[in-house]
């Protein structure tokens, strides 16, 4: 099983967490689950600029492996 605590949480860097803190908390299972569809789109550049943003604001777009892992977490129903 793919879980937020084991798999999804470590995908987010402290820079991501700080950058997003005024919108929602990437370290919160509930917040990330609630926005999973939007996050899934934006990491693929759908519905807005690709996230995370390039330096210096962010650490740039994710690798395909990270995207696939997040997508698999969503597909399995966003397990805690
Ligand atoms: C993997 C990491 C990140 C994820 C999953 C993420 C996710 C998102 C999502 C879902 C939105 C849309 C929010 C909404 O419309 O309510 C958003 C917007 C935004 N994010 Fe992030 N973000 C990440 C990293 C960052 C970083 C590092 C910054 C640095 C400053 C940042 C800055 C912003 C800003 C300024 C917006 C509003 C403008 C826009 O929608 O593009 N984010 N992000």
CA distance 32 to 39: 8
Name the pTM for this structure: 0.95
CA distances to 73, 77, 79 from 61, rounded to whole Å, are 18, 24, 24
Question: How do residues 2-28 score in pLDDT, each as one tens digit?
Answer: 999 999 999 999 999 999 999 999 999
Ligand 1 center from residue 1 Cα (angstroms): 27
pLDDT of 48 reads 96
Atom from ligand 1 closest to the CA of residue 12: 1
Q: Is 55 in the pocket of ligand 1 (CB under 6 A)?
A: no
Most informative mutation of 15, 51, 56, 67 for ligand 1 (most atoms within 8 A of CB):
51
CA distances to 26, 30, 55, 63, 72 from 34, rounded to whole Å, are 11, 6, 27, 23, 16
Find all residues with CB under 8 Å of 75, minimum gap 6, and list them.
Answer: none
pLDDT of 58 reads 93
Question: How do residues 45-67 score in pLDDT, each as one tens digit?
Answer: 999 999 999 999 999 999 999 99
């Amino acid at each position: 099983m793919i879980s937020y605590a084991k798999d999804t949480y470590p995908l987010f860097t402290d820079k991501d967490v700080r950058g997003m803190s005024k919108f929602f908390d990437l370290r919160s299972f509930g917040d990330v689950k609630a926005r999973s569809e939007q996050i899934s789109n934006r990491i693929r550049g759908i519905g807005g600029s690709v996230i995370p943003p390039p330096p210096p604001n962010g650490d740039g777009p994710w690798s395909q492996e990270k995207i696939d892992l997040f997508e698999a977490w969503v597909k399995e129903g966003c397990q805690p």
